[in-house]
Chain A
Amino acid sequence: MSATQGPITESGTPATPDPEQPSRWNQAFREITTGNAIISVLAVVLALFVGGIMIAFTNDGVQEAAGYFFSRPGDLLREVWNSVAGAYSALFQGSVYNFRRPSFAAGIKPLTETLTFATPLIMAGLGVALGFRVGMFNIGGRGQMLIAAALGGWVGFAVDLPYGLHMVAALVAGVLGGALWGGIVGLLKARTGAHEVITTIMLNYVAFYLVSYLLREGFLKTPGSNNPKSPATKATAVFPDLLGSTYSLHFGFILAIAATIFTWWLLSRSNLGFQFRAVGLNPHAARVAGISVKRIYVYAMLFSGGLIGLAGINQVLGTTTSGFGAGLDSGIGFDAITVALLGRSKPWGVFAAGILFGAFKAGGFSMQAAEGVPIDIVLVVQSLIVLFIAAPPLVRAIFRLPAPGSAPRRALPNVSQEVAAK
């Protein structure tokens, strides 16, 4: 693609060959159309469009109308519109605001559901993103969440503590559990050089079977029950509701915001975060600069695992307090990777991506219930969004936007830096 090659050759030329400024509107237009924000918006539009095609193609009404397309083409168009608009309006009403409800308080409930779904995604996404910034790929979200839930959950149902203190104790236990499970990976990488992709995948399975065993025969077993499920969390440890008991939004969302601020501070304001980023950009240079790369690997996995552990304990103390099984992570550990990628491994980016994916999750269920569109379409749309955002030249080519390099007197870095989200 010529657009990708253009800026590379031009980046070396001296800036401002032409002293005359174009109009401010023109400049503003160029900044908007070549910026990252427009790419993100267009990527979402494009992904929804592809999803719409899939919904329309598999809809029974559309297929029927396609049979007599040449006699009444209007029918086909109407059916396509009905199926796609129906699905997406159900998605919107299930995730943001439901117009069919009588009052605002009832209508806004889907939005609180979205935030509830987003909470663990944000927490775990932050953990994965932190790993990315250090150059480590943490696929171990599932295991870290399970261990966190096992330790924190045990404190939650087996220990007697006063209200408030109990919650804090369970939280700390959970975060420590996640950090421990992540720290093993960091330690193995630092000590023996074992590849973190292998060890995290393996530890996922180890954690799954360990927790399954503990639920069946160990200290997580509910006395007198054969169900592999833990006892319910005690009321003293459960997260308080934020908006009263009619909404499911709980204190975990505040924790997610706090975790985002903490990760932002850690990565961009702290000494340790500087070392994290240095190792992530170039471990050899970091080592020459006197940073102990191995130590940083361990710390990074401790923090990464701790953040993902927060997501695990959030599920036990906030979302499902009636006891958990071995399937508690329900794919969040893997979704977190996409969230981190969409958020470009930046804390607030992850926060926004988490809310977007939370909305898809909340809306997806109501779309499946109302329109019969399988929730898997949400996965398609989510992955397409990430794919398109990662490749700005593709989106520009589709919408015929000007490439950044073609803007007058703006020497831009070459495209590979722009897409390097890791």
Chain B
Amino acid sequence: MNIQPIVQLQNLSKTIRGKQLIQQLNLDLYPGQITGFLGPNGAGKTTTIRMMTGLMYPTEGKVIIDGQSLKEHYEEAISKVGVIVENPEMYKYLSGYKNLLHFARMHKNVPKERIDEVVQQVGLEKRIHEKVSTYSLGMRQRLGLAQALLHRPKFLILDEPTNGLDPAGIREFRMYLRKIADEEGVSVFVSSHMLSEIELMCDRVAVIQNGQLIDIRDIHNETTSLYYIEATPSEDVATHLQNLDYSFTVENNGVVVEVNKENIPALISQLVQDNIQLFAVQPHQKTLEDQFLEMTGGGQIAEANSK
């Protein structure tokens, strides 16, 4: 990719009391891209995000935002970042509007009109002057998004952003992120446990385990295409496929075959000719969940504790 990355993590490491939580993390994030951040509990997602937002200081390595080191030029670098770390904790005794006013005052050049604009974008106009303590979790999430967008950040970090949103809200949220990524070239970094969400939302996923980045991959363009074929008798199917030199795996009542789209009709007629009863042939997409579990090797919680 020829575009300059907006965020670069270089050899980012964090050691707390002798425990290495994050080891030599390298990651580039590009404008207009939504990157998902996945990892089992305790893998170091939150620690990484906290280091990217200046809440924690890296033991080694650095975070560079738009060409400026977060450590050396903190104020300038962070002014390009919008953040929601875990639940958006707002001042409950203030109204939603006053919360936004509070954060707007901490940035340069956020006029009152911008506050109204953001409020409208997240759809909170009707309740914005009520106290945050009366808000539902979903409304707080919206307010959290509003405060992160106030200063038109070039880079948006979201930790578990859809937590507490209703399905319509999630969809709206997803479309909104897509929109600001595409139209304004904002780079978005989303950590989430909801794999299906990440799958729908992201262009790329970074997977972290035990403090190490184990994979970065693009979603939506699998190199090999897989098809699921349900047919009986299954033994015959297997022998045929072997004879035709296709690699495959047995799954449920059928098989998953590695085959290019062009070759599908030929394969089907072959099987039909040989009196094999065909029930279904469909593209098989490995869900992100499968990939994720495959990469991280199951559910055990990582050794190191995130706190």
A binds B: no
Using a CB–CB distance below 8 Å, which chain B residues touch chain A?
none
